[in-house]
Amino acid sequence: MNEEKKPDDLSDEDKRRHPRFPLRAYADLQYSTKKWEAHVLDLSESGARLAILGEHLLQKGDPLRVHIQLEDINLLTSPKKQLSLHGRLIHVREHLLGFEFQPDTPVDKTLLYELLTQIENGH
């Protein structure tokens, strides 16, 4: 049964520009002057799924800064142990957040690609 999907049947998964890879890491979320701890659940070149720890009033569209801690991930070449990203929330379901982002600096962009390559290759 190979039914073809019509464009308006596309799910969230199908709309993504980049594949997501599972990643378990700690992160700090920052919105204005507020801060939360979160767990990263998965990551792509332009987005992440996060589980926020604690109460929040964040809403879709809110601008966020996210710092992913990489101390526990053995990156081969980078001495940098924190990936800094900025973007906005694209969905909020209780404590699960969808975050669309861009790396803060060229160094963060390189770190992101290196991290995704390692995850993809199973390291």
75-97 burial, b if ≥16 CB within 10 A, otherwise e?
A: beeeeeeebbbebebeebeeeeb
User: Is residue 7 in some structural domain?
Assistant: no
For 15-53, write each residue's pLDDT tens digit.
Answer: 557 889 999 999 999 999 999 999 999 999 999 999 999
pLDDT for the residue numbered 76: 58
User: Is residue 8 in some structural domain?
Assistant: no
User: Is residue 97 in some structural domain?
Assistant: yes
- Which residue range(s) make up the domain with 97? 20-120
The CATH number of residue 63's host domain is 2.40.10.220
User: Is residue 13 in some structural domain?
Assistant: no
User: Is residue 109 in some structural domain?
Assistant: yes
User: Is residue 37 in some structural domain?
Assistant: yes
Name the band, by pLDDT with cuts 50, 70 and 90, for residue 64.
Answer: very high
pTM for the full model?
A: 0.82
pLDDT for the residue numbered 107: 94
**Counted domains in the chain:** 1
User: Is residue 2 in some structural domain?
Assistant: no
CA atoms within 13 A on the CB side of 19: 7
